[in-house]
Structure 1
Amino acid sequence: MLKPPAPLPCTPALLGAVHARLTARTSGAATPRVRRPMVAGGLADVNEPVYLVGLLAGWGPSARTALPELVDALPHHPFPVGRALAAVADAGRDPDVVAALRACAGSGCPSDRLGVATALHSLTGDATTLLAVLEAALDEPNDRRDSSVGAVASLGEQARPLLPRLRALLAEPVETRTTFPAVEAALTVAATVWELTDDQESVLPVILEGLSWAEQPWGDRVARRAAEVAALVGPAARPAAPRLLAMLDRPDMAAAAARALAALHPGSDRPAGVPLTELVDRVLSSAAPGAHLHSALATLEALAALDPAAFTPAQVDRVRLLADGEHRIVRSGSHIDIVRDDEEFRAAARDVLAGLTR
């Protein structure tokens, strides 16, 4: 689905139309209906309420008058409606919304419970319900457990009661993590455990495991994530340096590896024996036309993490070309997204350039 060029305005007429349509689409939704084929309107049956509550979520508190309709729709579409309620409601003024979210988080399928509990935490700051849902999720089979660790990471210090389960996950044998999601989940848990405990013994083996995926087909995403966690851990992750050095030769991994090496050796002009100027070159070489926005921004983040004094005038000029050159770097996505994403990339590149030319 294409991203809209700008958010739709929250006018009284449009808000009223969303009220009415959301009520029409969710009233009696608990009563079984004949499921229409996708080509005969079945897709709209599923998606239209989601899009409607997405509009309300985007309007935030301006859509307060739709709270009754959202509460009514919550049991039928828990995940998107919960997110909308968190954006529109006010915990102090809307205790009925808080109560509805808390009740909905207590039943239903695990993914819906997690989504609603996350919305409740976002609205109130109270992690009690979310912790209870996550405790159960972390005891589920791998796929369900792996999908919950992002919510654990978002809790920060509030995730401390989950530490025993998180440590147990990290201690599982490498052989049990055979898929991309399983290793990425373990890396997310490793980052959370590090931030809570600084426990190198638990975290470092998972980082090394993730970096080993650089040698496997399609393992670049996992290796980049492992490099991000290594950068978070900093000097305590120095045993990972040999694997990070090998990643410098891969344009799709060079930016993440360079950023991690600089973090492993803060203040050094030769991290792991590589001159910073050479790291700059490796990162710049990864900024080739054809990138997705996410990877292109990761390149800029790596450049911003390196010492500005390491950049030669020629390298600064290459950053200037990224910011103001004639050719687009972001070329992946729909035509509309390419234009907007590349402009976002250029704006970020100008910020990096400003830091180099002060």
Structure 2
Amino acid sequence: MTRLLAGWGAEAASALPELCAALPHFPGQAAQAIASVAGGLAPTDRARAVAVSLVRERAEQGVLPVAKALYDLTGESAPLLHCLERELRGGAGQLRDAARTAGALGLRGAALAPALREALSSPADDTTPALDKDTEVAEALWRVSGTADEAVAVLASVFSRAGRNPWSRWSVARAARTTALLGSAGRPLAVHLEAALDDPAQAPAAVVALIAVTEPGSLDHAALATAALWSAEVDADPAGACDALEALGPGALTGEHLHRLAVLADGDARIVRSGLEDRIIDQDDAFRRRARALLTAFTDTAAH
């Protein structure tokens, strides 16, 4: 119900009293809905003022979801910084969420850098949760510090540890997507990205990251297009393959590549063949629409 009300935004203003009453009992759910509903009201609206007052009172008691709602409503960051530091240093199970929230603060979260470092996993921990959490921490360190050196070091550790974990293919893809955010500062990680091209689940993210971090003209774009198409053809990461092809641009595709893309876009076989039963068809249709759009754009460019 709180998600429904949150989706309605300001149109659910009449439900604010009930949401505020639920706040002490269900802070995670109610706080998010209050932020969405009250955030759509004018700052002078009395209902908004009452909601903000109650959220502030609970936030000062150290409840993270409520502190996040207060920040969303008013920009007040002190309660949120306090809660995040406690979460990051406490080693709780929500470290990934805490790191993501810290990163969203940008430079306003600079004081959280020591706690983020403390949240990093042991160099011997190569489990999938540890790799994914450290990837989130790496991105957060980059965002709160404004520099990439620490993030690069953490991501290098993630890539190296992933080599010891046979179940880490998606963790590597996540680390590659984070590497792409760093731009040229992520260039030292190129060797790990190149290795990821050999796995169809990792290849699309690695292609996008390589384009972002390497010098223009230093890559074999045709080979990268081949890796991206392969990923879609084996239903490893079809959506990511479209991202990779879009990043490569039409100049990377040969006539053979365009033919393979045409088969993906309009062939008889379903491309998305795995996942939740009630979503496969919609996901396959969405992939085909995007593949057709890319094919049209690339074919028009080639014709010109």
Fold conserved between structures, TM > 0.5: yes
**Are 1:179 and 2:127 counterparts?**
yes
Task: Report how far residue 101 of structure 1 moved.
Answer: 1.8
**Of 142, 164, 167, the match for 1:218:** 167
- The structure-2 alpha-carbon separation of the partners of 1:245 and 1:347, relative to structure 1 and needing over 3 Å to count, comes to same
Q: Which residue of 1 aligns with 2:205?
A: 256
Which amino acid in 1 is paired with 2:190? A
- Matched position secondary structure for 2:201: coil
Q: Which residue of 2 aligns with 1:191?
A: 139
Task: Report how far residue 200 of structure 1 moved.
Answer: 4.3
**Of 7, 11, 16, the match for 1:67:** 16
**Are 1:96 and 2:46 counterparts?**
no
Which amino acid in 2 is paired with 1:340? D
Q: Which residue of 2 aligns with 1:286?
A: 231
**Are 1:296 and 2:245 counterparts?**
no
Which amino acid in 2 is paired with 1:163? A
Which amino acid in 2 is paired with 1:281? T
Q: Which residue of 1 aligns with 2:65?
A: 115
Q: Which residue of 2 aligns with 1:26?
A: none
Greater CA deviation, 117-126 or 303-312?
Answer: 117-126
Q: 1:353 and 1:119 mapped to 2: Cα distance?
A: 43
Q: Tell me the alpha carbon deviations over residues 303-347 of structure 1, each in whole angstroms, 9 at most, x when there is no partner.
A: 211132111133233333433443332233344322222233333
Paired residues in the alignment total 294
Q: 1:207 and 1:354 mapped to 2: Cα distance?
A: 37
Q: Tell me the alpha carbon deviations over residues 206-249 of structure 1, each in whole angstroms, 9 at most, x when there is no partner.
A: 11222120452211121112212222223333332222222211
Q: 1:345 and 1:127 mapped to 2: Cα distance?
A: 40
Task: Report how far residue 286 of structure 1 moved.
Answer: 0.4
- The structure-2 alpha-carbon separation of the partners of 1:163 and 1:223, relative to structure 1 and needing over 3 Å to count, comes to same
Q: Which residue of 2 aligns with 1:328?
A: 270
- Matched position secondary structure for 1:211: helix
Q: 1:299 and 1:115 mapped to 2: Cα distance?
A: 35
Q: 2:235 and 2:158 mapped to 1: Cα distance?
A: 26
**Of 214, 221, 225, the match for 1:276:** 221
Q: Which residue of 2 aligns with 1:348?
A: 290
Cα contact 1:210–1:225 (8 A) shared by 2? no
Task: Report how far residue 287 of structure 1 moved.
Answer: 0.4
**Of 173, 188, 195, the match for 1:239:** 188
**Are 1:150 and 2:120 counterparts?**
no
- Matched position secondary structure for 1:143: coil
Cα contact 2:126–2:164 (8 A) shared by 1? no
- The structure-2 alpha-carbon separation of the partners of 1:349 and 1:215, relative to structure 1 and needing over 3 Å to count, comes to farther
Q: 2:6 and 2:180 mapped to 1: Cα distance?
A: 34
Q: 2:68 and 2:82 mapped to 1: Cα distance?
A: 11
Identity of aligned residues (%): 36
Task: Report how far residue 173 of structure 1 moved.
Answer: 4.8
List aligned pairs for 1:126-165, cutoff 5 A.
126-141=76-91, 143-165=93-115
Q: What RMSD in Å do the two structures reach over aligned CA positions?
A: 2.5
- The structure-2 alpha-carbon separation of the partners of 1:288 and 1:143, relative to structure 1 and needing over 3 Å to count, comes to same
Q: Tell me the alpha carbon deviations over residues 19-57 of structure 1, each in whole angstroms, 9 at most, x when there is no partner.
A: xxxxxxxxxxxxxxxxxxxxxxxxxxxxxxxxx222212
- The structure-2 alpha-carbon separation of the partners of 1:199 and 1:313, relative to structure 1 and needing over 3 Å to count, comes to same
**Are 1:311 and 2:253 counterparts?**
yes
Cα contact 1:289–1:328 (8 A) shared by 2? no
Which amino acid in 1 is paired with 2:275? G
Unmatched runs of 5 consecutive residues or more in structure 2: none
Q: 2:92 and 2:22 mapped to 1: Cα distance?
A: 31
Cα contact 2:128–2:167 (8 A) shared by 1? no
Which amino acid in 2 is paired with 1:130? L
Q: 1:164 and 1:205 mapped to 2: Cα distance?
A: 15
Q: 2:25 and 2:145 mapped to 1: Cα distance?
A: 40
Greater CA deviation, 61-70 or 228-237?
Answer: 228-237
- Matched position secondary structure for 1:159: helix
Q: 1:244 and 1:322 mapped to 2: Cα distance?
A: 25
TM-score using structure 1 length: 0.73
Q: 2:80 and 2:265 mapped to 1: Cα distance?
A: 42
Cα contact 2:207–2:224 (8 A) shared by 1? yes
